[in-house]
Amino acid sequence: MAAGSDDAQEAVVFGTGSGARRSGSRDGGSASGGGQGGELEGRQPYDYYLVFDVEATCEAERNSKYPHEIIEFPVVVMTGEGEILESPRFHTYLKPTTNPILSEFCTELTGITQDQVDAGMGFEEMLHALDAWLDDNEFFTAAKPTVFACDGPWDVRDFVAGECKRKRVEFPWYMRSWVDIRHTYHRHYRNGARRLNGMLEAIGMEFEGREPSGMDDAINIARLASAIIRDGGSLAVNRVVDRRRALDDDQVSRVLFYSYDFATISDFAADELIAAHPAHAPRLQAFRVARAAAAKATHLAKTRKQQARRNAKRKRGKHKKHG
């Protein structure tokens, strides 16, 4: 979580806290189960949450220009009911190329050794392996609505997207929109807790394992997510990167249909999608409602800000006249 600051993100499209609410048991196991009348009652927006946490090369002196390279990439699967699965899991170490020798600080911080990264994959190779793993397990398909999730904006926005940009590797389409669990947590509990262990402790849990470590962090983030579900929260998409770039048709159907990322398409296209996939209409409709609410909230906030600016300007003008 070291790279970048939290406030530069492109964010927050779908309402967290509105939309899906857990109310007792799920209303059906299949992807097309859905609630009635556009509601997501009794279930999370996704059936599978791929919770991940990267470790990256680093130095003791923090420097926002430092080209972090991912050296560990673990993914833990949590179901929409909050169950953390032992398998399947994805886990690999990676060999950095810009700074191939790990600093002592980095090994101490992450517990990752030079031998582990020397035997690791390249970054692009890892993304291919991840693709294959997603396909093998049928994630991001109609049968398994899936979304990635992690703690804060950094892992996707800075580590994955940053390395893709520097190494001219295509950014993975399935990470365009994701669930920032820290953001959801703060909306839900409003307790001001900081860091992963602090967030766990504030709700009566303890970090299990070594912190920070990719796999242990991922498991503990999944535990946090599971607690949010248990406590009635909704794990909806709340972050989007790379919104301006157009997706190709295949990506559109997989991201928009299987991940329900409505942030990027027009209402007309959303209508088309809903008409083409009636079995998924309730979920898709619910996302539309959440999106409309989020857009309205953004618009209201913007209007208020503009009004406040105008008022301040008027006030300054008055002072000048009198002074």
User: Shortest distance, CB of residue 148 to Mg ion, whole angstroms?
Assistant: 15
Q: How many residues bind ligand AMP (CB under 6 A)?
A: 12
Give CA–CA dist 57/117, Å, rounded: 10
Contact between 106 and 58 under an 8 Å Cβ cutoff? The reply is yes
Pick what 58 binds: Mg ion, ligand AMP, none; C-beta below 5 to 8 Å, kind-dependent: ligand AMP
Q: Rule CB under 6 A: is residue 161 a binding residue for ligand AMP?
A: no
Distance of CA 315 to the CA centre of its chain: 42
User: Shortest distance, CB of residue 32 to ligand AMP, whole angstroms?
Assistant: 36
Q: Rule CB under 6 A: is residue 62 a binding residue for ligand AMP?
A: yes
β-strands 55-56, 70-79 pairing: antiparallel
Encoded one letter per residue, x for contact with ligand AMP by CB under 6 A and - for no contact, window 105-134 reads: ----xx------------------------
Residue type for 116, please?
Q
Binding residues for Mg ion, rule: CB under 5 A, are 53, 212, 217
- Residues near 66 by beta carbon (within 8 Å), at least 6 away in sequence: 3, 58, 59
| Residue 39 or 217 with smaller CB distance to Mg ion | 217
Pick what 259 binds: Mg ion, ligand AMP, none; C-beta below 5 to 8 Å, kind-dependent: none
Give CA–CA dist 321/323, Å, rounded: 6
User: Shortest distance, CB of residue 157 to ligand AMP, whole angstroms?
Assistant: 12
Q: Rule CB under 6 A: is residue 146 a binding residue for ligand AMP?
A: no
Q: Of 48-56, 200-208, 265-273, 298-306, which part binds ligand AMP (CB under 6 A)?
A: 48-56
Q: Rule CB under 6 A: is residue 53 a binding residue for ligand AMP?
A: yes
Give CA–CA dist 17/234, Å, rounded: 6
Q: Which residue has the tokens 């130095």?
A: 59
Q: Rule CB under 6 A: is residue 56 a binding residue for ligand AMP?
A: yes
Q: Rule CB under 6 A: is residue 217 a binding residue for ligand AMP?
A: yes
User: Shortest distance, CB of residue 224 to ligand AMP, whole angstroms?
Assistant: 13
Q: Rule CB under 6 A: is residue 92 a binding residue for ligand AMP?
A: no
In the complex, the residues that contact ligand AMP under the rule CB under 6 A are 1-2, 53, 55-56, 58, 62, 68, 109-110, 212, 217
